[in-house]
């Protein structure tokens, strides 16, 4: 898998992931690039200085800023890993129910990492998976948040409930999210871009919370809706 861009590569260096090599455009003179090159060399990672045309050829995004790192494919966590991380605190987990667009997945991962979410759970079927695009859009956040990939979302909801979590779906027709209680051990379920939360999954939720809207369009992009819901939960939990 390729990790492209200064910020993404810099965040990658903060982890213990094994990096095969990093291509760096040889004529970079700006200070941020120099600092990153020094950081790469301090880690004794294989660094190849190459011409710009090589970077342009290898880059998937065409916005690499002269840095492309090569790492193994993303290794998903187990749901148990995420639950274990929440043992001694009020955990906060997000489930994505059929998010198909990798750009939305990458944005959601970035939002959740910024909010300190303990982990994300996605489905194996009818769901975007972690790839180069998701890594790029997450701006390196993927390196710092646990993502589990599961066969059956509904079974996972039962598992979370057995471990003391309250599960809330973010969907139209529920309680005003600003009047809800999102403290304690919670899981937020975010539905797909077009279909929302699936009926059986919605029935598994302990409650539905709704972002009030006052315009003529009554739907939000999945990553935007997730950001609003997650940070409202963060606000409540900070004041709890």
- If asked whether residues 172 and 228 sit together in one domain, one would say yes
- If asked whether residues 126 and 180 sit together in one domain, one would say yes
- If asked whether residues 120 and 229 sit together in one domain, one would say yes
- If asked whether residues 123 and 16 sit together in one domain, one would say no
Which CATH number does the domain housing residue 12 bear? 3.30.1330.30
Interval 172-230: pLDDT, tens: 889 999 999 999 999 999 998 777 899 999 999 999 999 998 887 777 889 999 999 99
Q: What is the average pLDDT value for the chain, to the nearest integer?
A: 93
Q: In what order do the strands lie in the sheet with 92-97?
A: 147-150, 119-123, 92-97, 186-191, 166-176, 207-210
Say what the pTM is: 0.85
Nearest-10 Cα torsion for 149, 146, 7, 227: 80
Residues spanned by the domain of 224: 79-239
- If asked whether residues 58 and 86 sit together in one domain, one would say no
Number of independent structural domains in the chain: 2
- If asked whether residues 35 and 102 sit together in one domain, one would say no
Burial of 18 (0-12, 13-18, 19+ CB in 10 A): exposed
Interval 25-82: pLDDT, tens: 999 999 999 999 999 999 999 999 999 999 999 998 888 999 999 998 889 999 999 9
Interval 71-84: pLDDT, tens: 988 899 999 999 99
pLDDT for residue 61: 80
- If asked whether residues 109 and 128 sit together in one domain, one would say yes
Residue where a domain stops, chosen among 71, 97, 123: 71
CB–CB of 107/137 below 8 Å? yes
- If asked whether residues 64 and 98 sit together in one domain, one would say no
d(C-alpha 167, C-alpha 99), whole Å: 18
- If asked whether residues 108 and 208 sit together in one domain, one would say yes
- If asked whether residues 12 and 120 sit together in one domain, one would say no
């Amino acid at each position: 898998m390729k990790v492209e861009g200064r910020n993404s590569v810099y965040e990658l260096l903060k982890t213990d992931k094994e990096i095969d090599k990093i291509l760096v455009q040889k004529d970079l003179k700006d200070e941020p690039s120099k600092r990153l090159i020094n950081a790469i060399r301090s880690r004794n990672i294989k660094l190849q200085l190459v011409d710009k045309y090589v970077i342009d050829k290898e880059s998937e995004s065409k916005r690499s800023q002269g840095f492309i790192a090569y790492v193994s494919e993303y290794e998903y966590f187990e749901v148990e890993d995420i639950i274990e991380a929440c043992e001694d605190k009020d955990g906060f987990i997000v489930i994505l129910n059929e998010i198909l667009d990798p750009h939305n997945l990458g944005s959601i991962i970035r939002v959740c990492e910024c909010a300190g979410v303990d982990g994300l759970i996605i489905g194996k079927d009818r769901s975007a998976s972690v790839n180069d695009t998701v890594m790029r859009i997450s701006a390196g956040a993927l390196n710092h948040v646990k993502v589990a990939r599961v066969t059956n979302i509904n079974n996972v909801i039962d598992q979370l409930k057995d471990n003391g979590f309250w599960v809330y779906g973010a969907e139209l027709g529920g309680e005003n999210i600003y009047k809800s209680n999102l403290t304690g051990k919670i899981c937020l379920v975010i539905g797909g871009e077009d279909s929302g939360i699936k009926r059986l999954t919605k029935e598994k939720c302990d409650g539905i919370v709704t972002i009030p809207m006052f315009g003529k369009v009554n739907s939000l992009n999945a990553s935007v809706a997730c950001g609003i819901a997650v940070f409202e939960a963060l606000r409540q939990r900070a004041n709890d």
